[in-house]
Amino acid sequence: MRLEAGGQLQLQCQRCMQDFGWDLATNSLVYIARNVAELDLWDRQADGLEDAVLADSQFDWFAWLEDELLLSLPAAPIHRAEICPTDRTTQQASQPNPFAVLATLKQHQKLKS
Ligand SMILES: [Zn+2]
């Protein structure tokens, strides 16, 4: 079976947290096995780009399709660097220093002693 899916999704940029359009385009070939022996055969023959599934009466096609589409998404979606409104260096500079609270505690200790 060949799975082809396409369309535009709204993802959130993990750098600037703004939504942006991302073009989904997936095209994969899946071998459908009727039993375990056939699944083993397809698994041995399929190369890294192809997949084999055991499509018995328990097989959940919707869950499988959902997994295939989720796996085609980027793990950390970000704008292309030239269009992302947030520069990584300014974002890092604006984040609070996690050790700032230690400096505050140190100042309190000096005042008490
Ligand atoms: Zn961005």
pTM greater than the 0.75 cutoff = no
Does residue 91 belong to any structural domain of this protein? no
Quick one: pLDDT at residue 102? 66
The domain in which residue 76 lies consists of 2-86
Q: How far is the CA of 7 from the centre of ligand 1 (A)?
A: 20
Does residue 69 belong to any structural domain of this protein? yes
Q: How far is the CA of 65 from the centre of ligand 1 (A)?
A: 28
Higher pLDDT, 88 or 66: 66
Average per-residue pLDDT for the chain? 81
**Using one digit for the tens of pLDDT, what is the confidence trace for 40-72?**
888 787 666 678 888 888 889 899 889 988 988
- Count of structural domains within the chain: 1
Q: Report the 3 state secondary structure along the chain.
A: CEEEEEEEEEEECCCCCCEEEEEEEEEEEEEEECCHHHHHHHHHHCCCCCEEEECCCCCCHHHHHHHHHHHCCCCCCCCCCCCCCCCHHHHHHHCCCCCHHHHHHHHHHHHHC
Does residue 17 belong to any structural domain of this protein? yes
d(CA 63, CA 35): 19
Does residue 106 belong to any structural domain of this protein? no
Q: Which tokens go with 94?
A: 């604006």
Q: How far is the CA of 21 from the centre of ligand 1 (A)?
A: 11
Q: How far is the CA of 25 from the centre of ligand 1 (A)?
A: 21
